[in-house]
Structure 1
Amino acid sequence: MQKKILKTDIHFDFTLLGISSGLPDFQLAWNINQQLNIHLKKVDDHRIEFQNNQFLQTSMLQYSTEHVTIKLIKNKVEVSESFAFVIPEAKNIDYFLLIQDDTGDLEILNVKNTLSKIKNVILVQEMDIQRLKSIDNLILN
């Protein structure tokens, strides 16, 4: 039987920043809150379910207004005595800052520059969503 592969072009309506930092999630969130004048707060963990009844659960903090949602999601998760990644092709990234801005007022370059000034933040980079094979792992149910 011949296999058919469906390829679709999915449009993502968010910007994704990758952050490398050794800070714990609550401390990074506190610093982001101070720098961006927002209020990221702990919400239910981000859970990814795989086909073989396996799942991955990681910390998530969120800030929402009527037109803007910002989520801080931890990429590196300790599983048994090793690590798993929400986005395995970005192993150098410790956290993702997912930004949905319906107004278009949020300037990503300013956000990047502001976050880069946080002590113990090594790298802040805008991720090319189209090139990430595992981007579906960040889509929340």
Structure 2
Amino acid sequence: MKKTRLIVEYEYEFELIGVIASVKFYKLAWAINKKLDIRLVKQEDYTIEMKGGGKTSFSNYLYQVDGKCFRLFRNRSVEGENAYLIPELPHFDYVIKIDEQSQSFAKEEILKELKEVTWIEYIAAIEVEKLKSKDNFLT
């Protein structure tokens, strides 16, 4: 019997920024709100299926207006286990996802602005194409 495989190619129309900050999640969201003049709002936990078959959840904040989407994720799972949204980059405490349709959110500008936040120790762009776990960000 001949088998047919379905191969799905996704378009990853978003950019990611990794953040290292030893501050509470809500304080970081507040600082980003002040710096970028936006209003990140706490959302229900973002749940994904892990490769082992289980599910895990991640805290997140969202700012969405007129098709612009800016989301701040905590990289470590809510459950406290060693599950990461980006397992290959566990050193990042937080991850920012910017939809590419958002012309008002230019990655370079955001990096420049957020480098000035005193609580952010390190911030860097993440190359989405090189990530093995990029499917975790498909919503």
- Equivalent position amino acid for 2:97 in 1: L
Q: Deviations over 1:6-40 (max 9, x none)?
A: 66543211111111111111110000000000000
TM-score of the pair, normalised by structure 1: 0.86
Segments of 5+ residues of structure 2 without an aligned counterpart are: none
Structure 1 equivalent of residue 117 of structure 2: 118
The yes-or-no answer on 1:106 pairing with 2:105 is: yes
CA contact (8 A) 1:67 1:101 kept: no
Q: 1:85 to 1:109 in 2, by over 3 A?
A: same
Deviation at 1:49, TM superposition (A): 1.8
Q: TM-score, normalised by structure 2?
A: 0.87
How much is the aligned-residue C-alpha RMSD, in angstroms? Answer: 2.3
Count of residues paired in the alignment: 139
Match of 2:92 in 1: 93
Change (3 A) 1:36 1:104: same
Considering fraction of residues, name the structure with more strand: 1
**Matching residue of 1:42:** 42
- Alpha-carbon distance between aligned partners in 2 of 1:89 and 1:73, rounded to the nearest angstrom: 16
